[in-house]
Structure formats: C-alpha cells, structure tokens
Structure 1
Amino acid sequence: MGSIRRWAPRVVGIVVTLACLVGAGRLLWPQPGLDEQPGSTERQLAFVREALDEGSDTAAQELFPEGYVFSNVLYGLAWVQAAHTDSGLRAAALRESRWALARLESDEGKAIFSPALRPTFGVFFAGWTNWLRAAILSLDDTDTAEVRRFATHSSEIAQAFAAAETPFLQAYPGQAWPVDSTVAIASLRLHDKLFGADYTAVIDRWLEQAKSRLDPATGLLPHQVAPSDGSLMTGARATSQTAIHRFLPEIDPAFATSQYSRYRDQFLAYPGGFGPALREYPKGVDGSGDVDSGPLVAGISLSATVVAQGAARVHGDRDLASAIGAEGELLGLPVSLPGSKRYAFGLLPIGDAFVVWSSTARPLTEPTTVLEQDLRWWWRLPWLGMLILIAIAPWVWTLVGLARPRRRETVTG
C-alpha cells in the first residue's frame, strides 16, 4: 500500500505532463492552407455519418429548432467542399451529399417549418436546401431532373425576394434573421455561375436594400429584424455574423470585404490574453448566451468561434483560420481513431458537423483571395504558458524538496 501511495502521484504527474506535451504539439502543428484541408477530414466525416445513422440529427433537434437541418446540411456541404479540394473524393461526396439532401427534404426535415411562407417552408429551409443542391450540382450537373428542381426552387426564392418590401424574409411566421436570407441569395448567385445570369437584378436589389438596413452601431447586417420592413430588432451578433461572412463573399466580394473588416474589429477578442476568439456581442456590449450562441465563456461564443474558421477561410484570412484551427486541436479534446475522428469525445455530433464544414470551407462562386489582416503574433504564448504551468504543477513539491538543503547527519562516538 505504501508503494502505491508513493508512486501514484508520480504516475499522475507523468500523465499530466505528457498530456500537456501533446497539447503543445497540437497547438504548434502547422494548419492546412486556404487551398488545403485537414488530413483527418474523411475520418471526421465518417464519425458524423455514423452519428447520423444513430439518430444524432433527431437528438440535435431537441437542443435547438434547426438541429436536424444543420446536422444533415453541414454534413453534405462538407463533403462537397472536400471534393472540390480533393477530386479523388468526388464519387463519395456526390453519394453522401445527395443522401443528406434527401434527409433534408424528408417529412422530418420539413416538420417545424411553415408551408404557408414564401418561399415555401420559409427562407431558412429554402435557402440552406437550395445552397446544398447548388453545391452538389457544382460537382455534377448531368442529372437533368435535379437541374430542373434547382431551377424551380431558385425561381421561387427569387420571386419571394422580388415581391417583398424587405430584403430579409421570414424563416418562421413573424420572425426574420438576415443570415438566412444571405444564404438564400448566395444560392441564387451560385445558380447564375452554374447556369447563366438569371437573377442579377434580384441580387443587386437585395444588396441595395440590405446596405440600407445595417445596424447603425456596428455598420454590419443585424442579427434579427422586423419581418414587415426589415427594420432593426437586434443588433449584430457573432452567432449570425460568422455565418453571414461565410456566404457574403459568394454574393459580392467587395461588400463582403468591407463588412468582414468591421466584423473583425468588433468581435475578435483575446480574453485574458488568450485567443483569438469571437465575442458573441460587439466590443463594449455585454449580454447573455441563448439557444443560438450556447453558453458564453468570458463573453466568448464557442460555436461562433468554430464557424469563424470557415468565414476566415473564404475571406482568405489565413492567419485567423489557422489560429482557430490550432486552438480547436488543443481545446476541442479530439479523439483520433483509425477510422474516425471526433471532438469533445463525440458527445455532441452536431458540433463535429460544424467543425468539418468550417475546416473545409472554400468559396464556390469566387476564387479565394488572400486578405492581409492583423493577428497578434504572440497569440500562442499564453496557451503555451498555461500548458507549462499545468505540466509542472504535479512536480512542485518534488522540486521544492530537491531545492531544500539537506541536513548533515551528526556522527556521535
């Protein structure tokens, strides 16, 4: 028993120290460039698919209203993005993304949305579904039936925007969020890239209207608006901004760049010297977390920070995308197995869907341009300092003991 008590602290100390060394290695390991993707992408997708087969999308629906849709649409989109980077994945991407689209359009996928809205089932469901369909066609447009369906749905979305007095259509009866309309408009822009310029007038009108309804406090698109006229209800928040900036470069790169600079200035933070990460509310504004943002840690939205990696990638913000990716490898508790990779021990598969969608992000309508933005060059140092402190903590008493002068034994005759 005495031997166990003597060795147990040393074993714990060795485990803690090794874990910190692994964490430091993950933080320092080079991240993929803007035209690359993580080598673990296929294993991440394998885990998400396994989780979907076990009902993770239905479970996510119990956490927030769009859980089922996001679980499937992000899985399908991540496959398409991965195939655009690695053509060897094309066949698998088409199979899996079409499978995801079918789940979106199932009765379960449509269940919470209103068929009375225009476009049908609301702009959230219509926009994300149309974007996934467009993304699939960007890989393979030989399915004439699918091309016709895309044309029909795109036309319905365009007619809904053309008929509305506001650029921000309803996702649910009486509720409108600009991010949802941004996704839908991006799907029209991708339609025009793939099949000719049919919706330029609608897109240009949307941009003009959207620019006239920016949040005056930040100069950014708002979080929530009045469905009647698009007037401000809730100012810009990172939860929606990160998704907006994933899609805005697909619509208008010049407007997107100016908006992205404002967004970065207002939301990028280093709480306690750690970061970079995304505040849920603009600098100088405090607020609480909700179903959109999840719990906030020192004002930081972990979900928004994950999605911000995708926004940074499509904007060519290489340093920020790499930093968020490295932090995810340190803090996300990844578990890598031969056939799968999961974060947070796989306890929340929808989180893994957001991670793989963001880490493979790439624009589908415009080529990525490198955007030079400032990032603290020393951002890793606080993380490394924390790891060093944790690594030596189990050995403090041992080190103190070694530092104490030993008493000389007195020899008596």
Structure 2
Amino acid sequence: MLRRIAAVVVTLVALVAAVRLTGGDDTAGVRRQLTFLRSALDDGAADDAQRLFPEGYFFLHALYGLTQVELGDEQEARWALERLESPAGRAPFSAGLTPAYGVFYQGWTNWLRGGILSMRPDPALRERFEASSAALAAAFDAAPTPYLVAYPDQAWPVDSTVAIASLRLHDKLLPPRYAATVTRWLDGVRSRLDPVTALMPHAVDPVTGAPASVARGTSQSMIQRFLVDIDPAFAREQYLRFRSTFVTRPLWLGPAVLEFPPGVDGAGDVDSGPLILGVSLSATAVTLGAARAQGDTGLAGALSDYGELAGVPVSTPWSKRYALGLLPIGDAFLAWSKTARPWVSAPQPSPAPALTRLWRLPLLGVLALAVLLAWLPVARAAAAAGRAGPR
C-alpha cells in the first residue's frame, strides 16, 4: 500500500510538472504575483531585500511599479515611484555624483516616470521628467565616457543603458531634444565593446569607459531588455550575439543563461546569485524579458515554461509566488520580465529560433522515467504476490 501511495504521488507530481512545462507563457499569473508582491512590500520585503544587496529596496519598488505600468495600474505605479523618490529610496546613493545620486538611481527613476507619464498627461510629473532628463543628458554630454558612475569611482554599462533609454522615451512622449546625445552615446559604446565577446562589458573604468571585465549574463540580460528602445538594429545584432554566447541547455534540459562566457571562469556574486553549472538564475529570469522585447517568442516561451517547472510556483485564486515566496525580488524580476515589450520602438520581428520545438522532450523523458521507477516496485510486488498464489 505504501508503494502504491508513493507511486501515485510521484505520478501526480510528474503530471503537474508536465502541464506546467507545456502550459505556454503565463502572463495571466502576473496580476496574482503583483498581489503577493504588494502584500510582501507592506510587510517589509523591501527592507529585507536591502539587507541582501545595496539596491534591494529600490529595485523591488522599481520593478513592482514598472510591471504595474505594463498592466495599466497608474495608482500602484505612482505609489512605487513615491518610494523611489523618498529618502529611503535615495539612501544608498551619493548626492554628490553627476547626475545627483548617480546614473543607476536617475536612470531607473526616470524610466518609471516616463512610463507613468505615458499613461496619462500630468503637468507636475512632466516637469519632473523633463528636469531629470535634462540633467541626465547634460551629464552624458559632459562626460568623456559613455558610462556614468552609479557609485563613487564605479561604473557599469547597464546603468547608463537604462538612462539613455529614458532619454529616448522622453523624445517619444515630448518634443524631441536628445537625439544627438543618444547618437554620441552609441558611438562611444561601439568603440568600447568587450574584446572577448564583442558585447558591452560588465564593468568599465569610470574615467575612460574602457572595459574592466568581460560581458556577464546578469548585466547583458538587462542591457538587451533596454537596448532595443535605443537603437533596434544595433540591439538585434547585440542580442543575437548574446543569445549565441550565453544561452545554454545544461545537461540537455531546459534553457538557461550562463553568467560568464564559455571559457571564462568566475564566481557568483550578489548580482548573479550562486552559479549552478555556470548558470545564473537571475540572468535567466531577466533574459525572458529581453527575449520578449526582441520578439523572440520561441525563447521567451521556453524560458517561461521552464520557469513554471523549475521555479516551483505556489498559486491560489488570489496570489502566486515562486520558490515558496522566499525571495520576493525574484518574483519581481519574473513579473517584470513576463510583461516586457518595447516602450519606444515598434514591436520587433522574431529572429531565427534558438531552440527546436523538441527541446522539452528530455525533460518530459525525465518525468516519465520518474513515474516508471515509482511504479516498478509496485509491479514487482504484485508479480511476487501472483507467484505465491492466493492466501
């Protein structure tokens, strides 16, 4: 009886896993994720995230607000923006940088402002958006490098990419002013690519903008999400290079994203999380959004389906959370990625597929094997009982 119960449980788990693996892109569950995230934020999840990494408080509110923009909830998006503009939102950043509080803070905040402004005209918000856009453009125009600092003497290209995308959003929503700034920035980026991958580097020298490290999955996945709104042609070129270099299938199972390019050794950190077979879970989640922004529906769907299997989501009629809700920041990244679309550029044509339609077969085979192994002892016991005859 115990063997039968165990076999039934394994079979049910495998069936649920198979349904999740073939269920398609679950954007409908995003609203329930946001319900969980708002409850977690009200319970202090942003302060908990801040203790894990320097931008935890900021990022959790920013991603929540940006996802609410995607779903059309202006009130909740404004609530998130108020937290970013508060002393707590600015606390990790230095007011003495150029622009004030650094390009990370200004870029993400400006992007959210523009997103909210795109929903409904608001003179006060427009004034703040114009002022912050002007400050960013002035900082880029005065800098000898395309990459502004986020912290004193520290610069990461991904932060400047978000900020430049916000200037492109400004020129879409309001009378255009920053085309020359964007063009100059792109010229600087093209002349400072990582020589190993020909992608934008992970970190740079804050004075010259010269690469200080190879391209990495965590920053590349974010860069590819925003670059499409800056220059779609350059973005497609960079995205395909990123996809061919970093997207992998460890053990021939589901798609995932490497933190370091093949042949480059490195350890995980607070951005990437622990690396499993070289894979970064955070980069994998954010690449889902990059694929959607690039119109790469095949990869986006595969990453989403694999996440439904590997992320062990817990759903109720009202909420949804992944990994038992232990890390709400992970749910925030997933919700934001599942609703990704270009804000400035037109929808992008789908590139050639990165995966065949049969990529799920090895995973389905593993599930079938688990069911077979679970029922094998039951079959053996039944056969033994049959040979012994009736009692």
Report if TM-score (shorter chain) is over 0.5: yes
What amino acid is aligned across from residue 194 of structure 1 in structure 2? L
Q: What is the distance in 2 between the residues matched to 1:311 and 1:20?
A: 30
Listed one character per residue, the Cα deviations across residues 333-367 of structure 1 (whole Å, up to 9, x for unaligned) are 11111111111111111111001000001111012
Q: Secondary structure at the match of 1:251?
A: coil
Structure 1 residue 283 corresponds to structure 2 residue 262: yes
Structure 1 residue 12 corresponds to structure 2 residue 6: yes
Listed one character per residue, the Cα deviations across residues 368-407 of structure 1 (whole Å, up to 9, x for unaligned) are 1222223132210111111112223322212234456954
Alignment of 1:257-296 (within 5 A): 257-296=236-275
Match of 2:108 among 105, 108, 128: 128
What amino acid is aligned across from residue 114 of structure 1 in structure 2? S
Match of 2:377 among 397, 405, 410: 397
Match of 2:56 in 1: 67
What amino acid is aligned across from residue 265 of structure 1 in structure 2? S
Match of 1:53 in 2: 42
Q: Secondary structure at the match of 1:391?
A: helix
Q: What is the distance in 2 between the residues matched to 1:99 and 1:235?
A: 37
- The verdict on how the C-alpha distance between 1:408 and 1:225 changes in structure 2, with shifts beyond 3 A counting, is closer
Instruction: For residue 39 of structure 1, report the CA deviation from its aligned partner.
Output: 1.3
What amino acid is aligned across from residue 95 of structure 1 in structure 2? Q
Q: What is the distance in 1 between the residues matched to 2:287 and 2:224?
A: 8
Match of 1:365 among 331, 344, 368: 344
Match of 2:83 among 99, 103, 108: 103
Structure 1 residue 377 corresponds to structure 2 residue 357: yes
Q: What is the distance in 2 between the residues matched to 1:408 and 1:257?
A: 68
Instruction: For residue 40 of structure 1, report the CA deviation from its aligned partner.
Output: 1.6
Alignment of 1:92-171 (within 5 A): 93-141=73-121, 143-171=122-150
TM-score (norm 1): 0.91
Structure 1 residue 241 corresponds to structure 2 residue 220: yes
Match of 1:82 among 47, 51, 71: 71
Instruction: For residue 81 of structure 1, report the CA deviation from its aligned partner.
Output: 1.2
Verify the 8 A CA contact 2:3 2:378 in the aligned structure 1: no
Structure 1 residue 325 corresponds to structure 2 residue 304: yes
Q: What is the distance in 2 between the residues matched to 1:79 and 1:408?
A: 66
Q: What is the distance in 2 between the residues matched to 1:408 and 1:246?
A: 65
Structure 2: runs of 5+ lacking an equivalent: none
Q: Secondary structure at the match of 2:180?
A: helix
Instruction: For residue 176 of structure 1, report the CA deviation from its aligned partner.
Output: 0.4
Listed one character per residue, the Cα deviations across residues 191-233 of structure 1 (whole Å, up to 9, x for unaligned) are 0000021000101000000110000111100000010010111
Match of 2:22 in 1: 28
Verify the 8 A CA contact 2:61 2:83 in the aligned structure 1: yes
Q: What is the distance in 2 between the residues matched to 1:408 and 1:367?
A: 72
- The verdict on how the C-alpha distance between 1:276 and 1:408 changes in structure 2, with shifts beyond 3 A counting, is closer
Verify the 8 A CA contact 1:342 1:352 in the aligned structure 2: yes
Structure 1 residue 307 corresponds to structure 2 residue 301: no
Q: Which moved more, 1:245-254 or 1:365-374?
A: 365-374
Q: What is the distance in 2 between the residues matched to 1:204 and 1:12?
A: 63
Q: Which moved more, 1:272-281 or 1:364-373?
A: 364-373
Number of residue pairs matched?
388
Instruction: For residue 15 of structure 1, report the CA deviation from its aligned partner.
Output: 1.6
Q: Secondary structure at the match of 1:168?
A: coil
Alignment of 1:177-196 (within 5 A): 177-196=156-175
Verify the 8 A CA contact 1:318 1:370 in the aligned structure 2: no
Instruction: For residue 30 of structure 1, report the CA deviation from its aligned partner.
Output: 2.6
Instruction: For residue 172 of structure 1, report the CA deviation from its aligned partner.
Output: 0.4
Q: What is the distance in 1 between the residues matched to 2:67 and 2:388?
A: 69
Q: What is the distance in 2 between the residues matched to 1:226 and 1:320?
A: 33
Q: Secondary structure at the match of 1:135?
A: helix
> Larger Rg: 1 or 2?
1
Match of 1:90 in 2: none
Listed one character per residue, the Cα deviations across residues 218-258 of structure 1 (whole Å, up to 9, x for unaligned) are 11000000100101111100000000000000000000000
Structure 1: runs of 5+ lacking an equivalent: 1-6, 33-37, 84-92
Instruction: For residue 8 of structure 1, report the CA deviation from its aligned partner.
Output: 3.2
Instruction: For residue 276 of structure 1, report the CA deviation from its aligned partner.
Output: 1.1
Match of 2:206 among 202, 227, 252: 227
- The verdict on how the C-alpha distance between 1:8 and 1:285 changes in structure 2, with shifts beyond 3 A counting, is same
Q: What is the distance in 2 between the residues matched to 1:110 and 1:407?
A: 75
Listed one character per residue, the Cα deviations across residues 52-108 of structure 1 (whole Å, up to 9, x for unaligned) are 00010110011111111110000000011122xxxxxxxxx1100000000011111
Q: What is the distance in 2 between the residues matched to 1:111 and 1:8?
A: 57
Q: Secondary structure at the match of 1:62?
A: helix
What amino acid is aligned across from residue 227 of structure 1 in structure 2? P
Verify the 8 A CA contact 2:24 2:304 in the aligned structure 1: no
Q: Secondary structure at the match of 1:339?
A: coil
